[in-house]
Amino acid sequence: MTTTETHEITAAAAGGDATAEQLAEVLAWFDHYDERVAAGDLNGMADLAAFPINEVTDDADGYGIAAACDRDRYLAQMREVVGANSAELTMHSTRHPIFLSPALCFVVTDASFEVGGHTQQMRYGDLLVRSADGWRFQTMVAGGWQEQL
């Protein structure tokens, strides 16, 4: 997989109290996560989560839905989404971190994925929580993923 990333950060998006070090930590976390995706390392991806995680999307009727997801379910989902395609996947991401507090950061990502000559664009969000073990993702938010729940 090929990954290109742009880290766009504005004072408003970063949050007034976010330090350069906090921003660097969050962006480094995403770099590490993306390396796991590129390698097809599903267990390594799961190791960066705070399970159970929340998954939020919308349904076919246009209503928001949410579900809890444990490690086994996450691995099954990622095996389907990433596992079969990681070698031929090219991804470009622009991330917009929004610090809600020093320990909570919601990151909106504008991404494009290319697999087999087909490009798909999407916007999604991740809530990262900072713990004694570092940053972990706890909530994933994306439209159109109701079949995954």
| Chain position carrying tokens 């097809």 | 40
Q: Which amino acid is at 33?
A: Y
d(CA 46, CA 138): 11
Domain ranges of the chain: 2-148
Residues 96-144: tens digit of each pLDDT: 999 999 999 999 999 998 877 889 899 999 999 999 999 999 999 998 8
Name the DSSP class of 80.
I
pLDDT confidence of residue 11: 46
Residues 11-53: tens digit of each pLDDT: 445 555 788 899 999 999 999 998 998 888 999 999 999 999 9
Residue 8 confidence class, pLDDT cut points 50, 70, 90: low
| Domain 2-148 class, CATH top level | alpha beta
- Global confidence as pTM: 0.83
* Helix H or strand E segment including 1: none
Residue 145 pLDDT > 80, yes or no? no
